Structure formats: C-alpha cells, structure tokens
Structure 1
Amino acid sequence: MPLLPGAEPFHHDGGEIGVLVCHGFTGSPQSVRPWAEYLAERGLTVSLPLLPGHGTRWQDLALTGWQDWYAEVDRALRELSEQCERVFVVGLSMGGALALRLAAKHGDAISGIVLVNPGNKVHGLAAKALPVARHVVRSTKGIVSDIAKGGSQEVGYDRIPLHAAHSLRKFFTLVDAELAQVTQPLLVLHSPEDHVVPPVDSARILGRVSSRDVTEKLLERSYHVATLDHDAELIFEDTYHFIARLAPGVGKEGTAARG
C-alpha cells in the first residue's frame, strides 16, 4: 500500500546527541517532521519512525494495536542509543504517551523528554462503549487537522478504526499506571484550547510523574496539532534549548553533522 504524501519516516545522521520523534494516533510523520528537521538542522541525530498501520489507509490501522506502535519506537530508541552518547525522546499526542512509556522502561538511557499535548485518556461516554462497539461499528469520524493556523493541514486518516481506538484506550491506562516511574527531566507544552486532548491530560501527567526537573508551557495560539500551528517555532526553540541545557555540548564544535 503506497504511503500518503508526507507520511514517510525521517532520519538524519548528526552528532552524538540523538532525538527520537514520535507522531500521534491516526497521524503520520508529516505532523512532526518540521520539529524533526529543525533539530536535524542544528546538528542533532534525529529519528522519526512511521508507526505501524499509519500513513496509508485507516483499514491498515485497524489491524494493529499499541504493542505494534510501541515496539516500533522502542526499536528506534535502541538504534539511536547505539549511535549516540545521549538520547532524548519527544512526542505529540499519543506520541507523548509513547515517549512516557519509553522513559518509564528505559530509565537513564533517556536524558529527557518533551511532550506536546500528550494524551493520557480516551474521554467521553463513547470510550466506555469501545469494547462492545468495536465489534459492531468499524470506524468513526477522524480527529486530524485540529489546527488554528489557516492553510495548515495534517496528513492522516479521516476515520478512526474502533479496534485501534480500543487498543489506544488500554495503552493510555497502562502508561498512566507507569507515570511514577518517569524520573527524567520533562518539558510539557500544551494548548488551553485543544479539541482532541483536553488540558486535564497534561495536568494529570505533570501530577503523577516523579521527575524533579519539570517545565510547563502553554501554547496559547494553537490547537491540538501545535507542531503545525502558530506556536510551532516556539515548540522547536524550547525543545532545542531544553536539550542544550541538559547536554551542554549541543551547538558546540564536535556536534556538527558527520556527513
């Protein structure tokens, strides 16, 4: 099945500091590629994988579950760790949940995490019906392109397969139970007006992690896909400064791209 335009994975070989970038549920690398490219342009080694079932058609996503999505970012993290001295993980929406689980499981192998509008729970009465409804209804209306900026579009699915949504709900429950195991420095950027993930999800994450080095910032001009919205440049700059603070060699001689 051919990929949607812009849904291709991205990799850049840079210096000894690596960054794993995780996209969201029903989205694709396109939604976070400018984030990845910004970091790559500053000499970092960057990996942005395409999650299984994404970037083609929603029917393909229906055949996958959280174990598949997590296995892909876990594989990419191990690959980056072999290549780089230090690794950071950043993620949008469900990508933020994937980053949190990697942080909980890999400990000191991850030097810090950055979350943009991270998901923590499937909300609403419909969520409780998922275990049964997924056997009756195949899909529901999509959630892509929640963006305030005119002319900006997210490449993703216009339908959500309910089997995958049910798996996502189970994954969020799993990650929520592991939040206390997250100890790494943490930067959370979230939008007060988000029509996909409510601010309460970020608040719960901030209240349950064990990280002591925590920074929270509001994205006042953006909706859910803030990495393609008015605050995108702010996200990119804050991410780079966060990494540079924790890995002082960033931006200095010796961290330039190797090729």
Structure 2
Amino acid sequence: MPVLPGAEPFSHTGSGAVGVLLCHGFTGSPQSMRPWGEHLADAGFTVRGPRLPGHGTTWQEMNRTTWQDWYGCVRTELLALAETCTSVFVFGQSMGGTLTLRLAQEFGDRIAGLVLVNPSVTTLRWDARLLPVLARTLPSVKGLAGDIAKPGATELAYPRVPVRAAASLSRLWRLVRADLPKVTQPLLLLHSVVDHVVEPVNSRIILDGVRSTDRTEVLLENSFHVATLDNDAPLIFQRSVEFVHSVRRAGQVGAS
C-alpha cells in the first residue's frame, strides 16, 4: 500500500546517550511529530518516529488493523532504541499518548520518562458506547483531523474515522485506564485548554491515576488538539528537552 507523501517514518541517530520514541495519533501520521523530532535531533538525541500500521495510507487499510498492531510497532521500536541508547524516553500525542502509557505499564523503569501531549484514555461522546455495534455495519464516520488553531498549519490525517479501528482503540483505553497505577516513571503532561477532539477529563484521569512521584502538568493556552503543529509547539519542544535533562540530572537514569 503506497504511503502518502509526508507520512513516512523518520529517524535520527544521535550520541547514543538518549533515545526518544515519538508516537503519533489515531488516523494521523509521523508528519504531526516530525518538527518535534527535528528539534530533539538538534538537541543531540537519537530519535525514532515510526508510522503506525494502517496509518498514512487509507482509512480502509486502517480498518483492517487493531490496537495490538499499533502497539506492536512502537514496542519493537522501543526495544531497538534500548539496544543502542543509555536511556530511553517515550513521547506521545493523542492515541500516541495511550500507546506511551501502555509501554510504561509493560516496561517499567526500563523507560526513563514520558511526555504526553493531549493524551486519550476515554471519550465523553455518547455514540462511543455504540462502537461495538456500529463496527459491524458502519465502515467509517466523519473525521476529526486538523484541529489546529494556527492559521495555515495542516495535519496529514484521514478525513474519515475507520469505525472498526475506533472500536479497537476503545478497548485499548480500558486496558490502559485499569493499569494506570503501574505508571511510575517521571511524567510531563501538556494539554490544550481548548481541545475539540480529546476532552480535558483525559488528562485528569491520567494525572490522578498514575503513581509517578515526578509529574508535571503544563497547560497549552494557544493550541487545539494537534498541539505539536500549533502555536504552542515551541513550548512543547523546549519543555520536553528540559524534561529529559532534568530527569537525567536527578540521577533517575544512567549518566552518559
């Protein structure tokens, strides 16, 4: 299946001290994470921005994938980073944040720290309760891509939401919520004050549910959902690099 131009995965090999895995969102692509990845590469980090299965092609193909496929992809990338880097961090946006939390739940202190941007673990939309039924008969619904406040900024994502894939995501949400107490890594969570895709309750559930003693919440005042392409992107990039350095200085991970 041909990959949409701009949706390709990306990587950069840095000094080998710090590796960062970037996980993009549902129906999106690495395009939404590429500027962040470039900033991290400029900071000297090794960076991997994989394309999740079923993403960056067609929504029809995505309907043939499940959360296990998406998770298997980021899990493989994490293990590869761990082979070459002294410490590994995982950063995720939206569903990428869901996958990031699942990795943290499985790998514990093998992950040095987490950065989440508008992460999702639930939705308040009434029709989400119908997903198991709708998935049997309805292929797709109108998409939610491109929720960006910055004029001229665009997200490379599907115009339709594949319903079977969305039903699979809802099953992942339940697993991640149930295991939130397993998350103990240092955590930086940045979320938009106005987000038309992921409700603010998601960030509150996460912050209340994890057992990380080092956790920081940052409000994004000038961005909508796809904040890594929005007005607050420079703030996200800066705070994430500072977070990596602060975690390492605190001695919570091995020194380079």
TM norm structure 2:
0.96
Say yes or no: does 1:225 pair with 2:231: no
2:113 maps to 112
Aligned residue pairs total 251
1:102 maps to 103
Matches within 5 A, 1:151-190: 151-190=152-191
Deviation at 1:99, TM superposition (A): 0.5
Please tell me the residue identity of whatever aligns with 1:43.
Answer: G
Give the distance between the partners of 1:230 and 1:32, measured in 2 at CA. 14
Please tell me the residue identity of whatever aligns with 1:230.
Answer: N
2:243 maps to 242
| Runs of 5+ unmatched residues, structure 1 | none
2:78 maps to 77
2:87 maps to 86
Please tell me the residue identity of whatever aligns with 2:197.
Answer: V
Is the Cα contact below 8 Å between 2:123 and 2:199 reproduced in 1? no
Give the distance between the partners of 1:242 and 1:132, measured in 2 at CA. 42
Deviation at 1:135, TM superposition (A): 1.3
Give a deviation string over 1:48-70, Cα, whole Å, max 9, x none.
Answer: 10000000010010000000000
Structure 1 stretches of 4+ moved >2 Å: none
1:10 maps to 10
Q: Structure 1 residues 82-91 or 117-126, which shifts more?
A: 117-126
Is the Cα contact below 8 Å between 2:32 and 2:155 reproduced in 1? yes
Give the distance between the partners of 2:147 and 2:7, measured in 1 at CA. 18
Deviation at 1:124, TM superposition (A): 1.4
Give the distance between the partners of 2:66 and 2:124, measured in 1 at CA. 19
Give the distance between the partners of 1:123 and 1:49, measured in 2 at CA. 29
1:207 maps to 208
2:55 maps to 54
SS at match of 1:2: coil
SS at match of 2:179: helix
Please tell me the residue identity of whatever aligns with 1:193.
Answer: V
2:69 maps to 68
Give the distance between the partners of 1:23 and 1:92, measured in 2 at CA. 6
Please tell me the residue identity of whatever aligns with 2:2.
Answer: P
SS at match of 1:43: coil
Deviation at 1:133, TM superposition (A): 1.0
SS at match of 2:48: strand
Deviation at 1:122, TM superposition (A): 3.2
Deviation at 1:123, TM superposition (A): 2.8
Identity of aligned residues (%): 55
Give a deviation string over 1:168-193, Cα, whole Å, max 9, x none.
Answer: 00001110011000000000000010
RMSD: 1.2
Give the distance between the partners of 2:18 and 2:78, measured in 1 at CA. 12
Deviation at 1:136, TM superposition (A): 1.5
Give the distance between the partners of 1:138 and 1:2, measured in 2 at CA. 21
Is the Cα contact below 8 Å between 2:66 and 2:169 reproduced in 1? yes
1:126 maps to 127
TM norm structure 1:
0.95
